[in-house]
């Protein structure tokens, strides 16, 4: 009732709603989370949220170029560099899920009983077709760091193929090629949902602590970009990390599976 009264007064006073520009990652978009959050944000604030979904590297560049007010991304090291250079402020934890390695069902027995390093070495030694995002996204950054942990990124190998596309599109390429790919769990659940619970790609490695996938929200620094709406960006950060919104994110599920775990109040970095 209070929200209805507020919106009625808002419209009656003919106050122009703000349009908040956000650059975010394909995983927050592909999973459907933003489509679910946007009407809530509009209902509770009267403002409109417009976003472009790209890899985290591209999202940070959009912020650096002053073409967004706020960023919702998942590559902690890249985010910290962005802040250090003076391009962003108010970096705030929101949620996490984890990265998983998925592969064509026919390949799954090869991975049985293997840990993360052994799984990566299996892919390399048997030259299994591996699809990399290759787009400097948070997922791409994580994937390359994992390859470096066992040697080097196999960029020149024929079995290592870069899609240059978003997460869900890259998963479909891996499916077509009966290969292997690293993905975030949220997008994988969306892929499972799209496949009616019968996906051709299945999880073959998960659970390593290094595979946690942290999402944060960042306001573009108004000292760097005079045209950004910092006031609304800060209000959006407060709204996104409010108890009600976090409860909604934590309860957002597909196939009865949660896509994200909120940690805005508990993450320590």
**Residue pLDDT, tens place only, 170-214:** 999 999 999 999 999 999 999 999 999 999 999 999 999 999 999
Q: State the average pLDDT for the chain.
A: 93
| Residue of 248, 191, 255, 238 lying closest to 92 (CA atoms) | 238
pLDDT band with cut points at 50, 70 and 90 for residue 5: very low
pLDDT band with cut points at 50, 70 and 90 for residue 247: very high
Does the pLDDT at position 2 exceed 60? no
CA–CA separation, 75 and 85 (whole Å): 16
User: Angle CA(108)–CA(186)–CA(193) in degrees, nearest 5?
Assistant: 75
Does the pLDDT at position 16 exceed 60? no
**Residue pLDDT, tens place only, 123-144:** 999 999 999 999 999 999 999 9
pLDDT band with cut points at 50, 70 and 90 for residue 11: very low
Does the pLDDT at position 14 exceed 50? no
User: DSSP readout, 48-117?
Assistant: EEEEEEE-HHHHHHHHHTT--SEEEE--HHHHHHHHHTTSEEEEEEEEEEEEEEEEEGGGHHHHTT--HH
Residue with tokens 């990652």: 25
Does the pLDDT at position 3 exceed 70? no
**Residue pLDDT, tens place only, 81-101:** 999 999 999 999 999 999 999
Instruction: Answer whether 34's CB lies under 8 Å from 194's CB.
Output: no
Average pLDDT (221-229) is: 97
Average pLDDT (29-46) is: 95
pLDDT at residue 269 in the model? 74
pTM over 0.85: yes
pLDDT at residue 181 in the model? 98
pLDDT at residue 18 in the model? 87
pLDDT at residue 6 in the model? 42
Longest dimension (CA), the chain: 67
Does the pLDDT at position 13 exceed 60? no
């Amino acid at each position: 009732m209070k929200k209805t009264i507020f919106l009625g007064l808002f419209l009656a006073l003919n106050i122009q709603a703000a349009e908040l520009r956000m650059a975010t990652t394909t995983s927050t978009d592909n999973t459907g989370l933003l489509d679910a959050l946007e009407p809530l944000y509009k209902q509770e604030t009267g403002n409109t949220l417009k976003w472009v979904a790209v890899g985290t590297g591209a999202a940070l560049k959009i912020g650096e170029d002053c073409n967004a007010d706020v960023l919702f991304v998942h590559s902690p090291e890249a985010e910290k560099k962005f802040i250090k250079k003076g391009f962003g402020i108010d970096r705030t934890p929101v949620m996490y899920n984890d990265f998983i390695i998925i592969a064509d069902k026919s390949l799954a027995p090869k991975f049985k009983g293997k840990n993360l390093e052994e799984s990566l070495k299996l892919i390399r030694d048997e030259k299994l077709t591996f699809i990399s995002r290759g787009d400097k996204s948070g997922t791409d950054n994580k994937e390359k760091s994992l390859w470096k942990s066992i040697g080097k990124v196999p960029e020149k190998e024929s079995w290592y193929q870069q899609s240059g596309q978003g997460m869900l599109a890259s998963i479909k390429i891996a499916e077509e090629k009966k290969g292997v790919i690293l993905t975030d769990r949220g997008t994988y659940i969306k892929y499972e949902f799209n496949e009616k619970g019968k996906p051709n790609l299945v999880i073959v490695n998960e659970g390593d602590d290094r595979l946690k996938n942290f999402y944060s929200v960042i306001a573009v620094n108004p000292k760097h970009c005079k045209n950004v709406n910092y006031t609304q960006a800060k209000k959006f950060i407060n709204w996104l990390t409010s108890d009600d919104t976090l409860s909604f994110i934590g309860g957002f599920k597909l196939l009865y599976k949660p896509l994200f775990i909120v940690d805005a109040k508990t993450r320590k970095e």
